Chains A and B, each alone.
Chain A
Amino acid sequence: MTAVVEIHGLRKTYRSLRGGARPALAGFDMTVAAGQVHGFLGPNGSGKTTTLRTLLGLIAANGGEMRLLGRPVPAALPEVAGQVGAIVESPQFFPNFSARDTLSLLATAGGVPKPRIDAVLELVGLRDRARDRVKTYSLGMKQRLAVASALLKQPKLLILDEPANGLDPAGIREMRDLMRRLVSEGMTVLLSSHILGEVQQICDSVTIISAGRRVAAGPVAEVLAAHGTGEIRVRLEAAADHQTAAGILRDAGATVTVHADHLLVHGVDKPAWVTRTLAARDLYVSELHRAEVDLESVFLELTGTTPVPGQHHQVGLPANSEGAGPVAANVGGTHA
């Protein structure tokens, strides 16, 4: 496996006169393999954007090592910058310039041939609005322009921070298709997103960050499997039998949660055991399946941001760590 992004022990602490020291990254690690779409997930304030900015030389790290395309950064950034396209956070452009002007100036600064401008405008669907001023663009159109600017230099690595922000459903699908196509052409995409369904659909691997530390990483399927709950959802013909069934299963050693129209059974290896145990007491299951784990539930579990009724989650703190500092509150350990 060739790694295009390697981050080891990255540390960054923001200091201000009023707020004092605020650790944003506390020994963060991440590896992105070439030719993949790699999802980079984390709650607000967890350190995603700080990581990307540090990687791209916009922020100075306090410690740790980073390599981009095999070269140490920030030292070798000028050498690799031409092969890395990036959007960091919300797209920002000079409002009175047109999309064509914006791209043309970047192309001139980067020594990119002019025909490439038309190619990327076509690619992101801005061909017919290319001469309009950026201030007349919707957020989605600005996002498309940002992607166009990142693609302009035909990068080997594309870093996209929330590229679906402001895009309509068709735009999101176009973006997904575009990323797939780029990866099929040999590009590597590092995608930071909050749309976990999208990430699950498109990404080959993920890194999940919480409170400045990696809490999970690896191929999506492996991360999901590693954090599956093993719950079995059981429904009987008559809802009135759910309480009786729950008692039988508990007596047999399972952990059961009773819901209005189903039971959730934990601590059972094989679903057939549930069927057999209940049938032996003349209770017959009408529906039984393993509760599927998705990236969202894994994300919420690992980052400790599952909403709790009556509590308001504070940015930068996992929900179960009220009052704790972001670094001290790291919850998941490392599952690399």
Chain B
Amino acid sequence: MNLLKAELRRLAKRRITRWMLLLVLLLMPTVALVVASNYVKPGPAAQAQAEAAAAAEFERQQVYIEAEVARCEADQAAGTADEMGWPEDCEEIRAWQSSQEEMVEWFMPPAFEFREDFQPMIKVLTALLCLFGFTIGASFVGAEWRTGGMMNLLLWRPRRLQVLGTKLAALVGVLAGLAVVLGALWTGMFWLVAEFRGITDTMTDGAWQSFGLAGLRGLALVLFAGVLGFALASIGRHTALAMGAAIVAFVVGVAGVGIIGGGMLELPFYERWIWSTYVTAWLDGSVELTDWNAPCTPTPNGDCVSPTLEISWQIAGIGMAVLFAVVLIVAMWQMRQRDVA
């Protein structure tokens, strides 16, 4: 218990933890403000403005359609209607005209609809916290090794696995706590965005449940990123190893595989070799990959459908769990076996 208390204090005292947290706390309202600036609260003024614009557009469209009908009738009279692609009955052209009510919708300024627009925002916060968790996790153990703090600690607490495990528990606890608090703050911010620049009336219990599940999946991903950074830095005994691995993962694991697998080799469903596909599948529930290079299959309604491959969140979860276990076991084994030189 003493060790856990000490590690929680150590993590909280570290400058990188404080600076990164400050950065996250600054970015959160900044993102919310930028999003808010792109939406307008639907109200009588906006409605009136949209109705006026719709009326003008309706009139303009009506003039255009009347002209088209006239041209159609002229071509029919000349016997060239088929050649020009006009319908048999020129009156059908009038059906192209949209209703004025429909047009009002077009001209209504965009409103932030909490039910529809908050879901992507959960992913934004998840990405931000993953970066935070990975960096803090890597630095928490990497800097300890580099500066000799780990050796000092082992002189006090020689049970190595207990020391590493307690550090990890402190990290996971802090990350989970922060993710929950920041998630609540984030939800509150966008609720306010919706209140002032959109609508909240469409929210239902089911929608809240869906947000809750997305939040839980995001929380799991944040913890996974934190533990991954921690374990990689522990294996390399340096923060730089984890950060380097992350850069390699992005350059090789995303861009490299995309260019070689998709662009050069034209592998079917090459995205399944890109790790970020699984992250997306985990967060979205599933990802459907399409092999655009394969011959498509005609359907009775005249479409031609390319083969697809679905990656579910369960498959993504298994992949992440395997990676999690392997990296953590190697880190623990290294901690137990390697000399502290």
Contact = CB atoms under 8 A, between A and B. Distances in A.
A77 B159 CA distance: 9
A149 B152 contact: yes
A336 to B, nearest CB: 28
Contacts of A170: none
A153 B156 contact: yes
A105 B10 contact: yes
Given A58-B340, A92-B149, A94-B143, A109 B155 contact: no
Nearest to B2: A111
Given A92-B147, A96-B15, A106 B152 contact: yes
Nearest to B160: A57
Interface in A124-180: 149, 153
B6 A109 contact: yes
A72 to B, nearest CB: 13
Interface in A30-88: 53, 56-60, 74, 77-78, 81-82, 84, 86, 88
Nearest to A98: B13
A153 B157 CA distance: 12
Contacts of B2: 108-111
B4 to A, nearest CB: 9
A59 B341 CA distance: 7
Contacts of A95: 147
B3 to A, nearest CB: 5
Contacts of A81: 155-158
B147 A93 contact: yes
Q: Please tell me the size bucket of the interface on B.
A: 20 to 34
A296 interface: no
B155 A56 contact: yes
Contacts of B7: 109
B339 A58 contact: yes
A53 B340 contact: yes
Q: How large is the interface on A (under 10, 10 to 19, 20 to 34, 35 or more residues)?
A: 20 to 34
A24 to B, nearest CB: 11
B9 interface: yes
A288 B14 CA distance: 66
A39 to B, nearest CB: 21
Given A105-B6, A109-B2, A86 B157 contact: no
Q: Which residue of A97, A105, A153 has the most chain B CB atoms within 10 A of its CB atom?
A: A105
A77 B14 CA distance: 29
Contacts of A93: 147-149, 152
Contacts of A88: 151, 155
A27 B137 CA distance: 41
B1 to A, nearest CB: 9
A263 B3 CA distance: 66
A94 B155 contact: no
A58 B339 CA distance: 6
Nearest to B144: A94
Contacts of A104: 9
A101 interface: yes
A131 B37 CA distance: 46
Q: Specify which of B6, B152, B341 lies most central, judged by the most chain A CB atoms within 10 Å of its CB.
A: B152
Given A60-B339, A109-B2, 8 more contacts: A86-B155, A92-B147, A93-B152, A95-B147, A101-B13, A106-B152, A109-B3, A111-B2
10 contacts: A56-B158, A58-B340, A59-B339, A60-B337, A74-B158, A78-B158, A84-B155, A91-B148, A108-B5, A109-B153
Smallest CB-CB A-B distances: 5 pairs: A92-B148, A108-B6, A109-B6, A58-B340, A77-B158
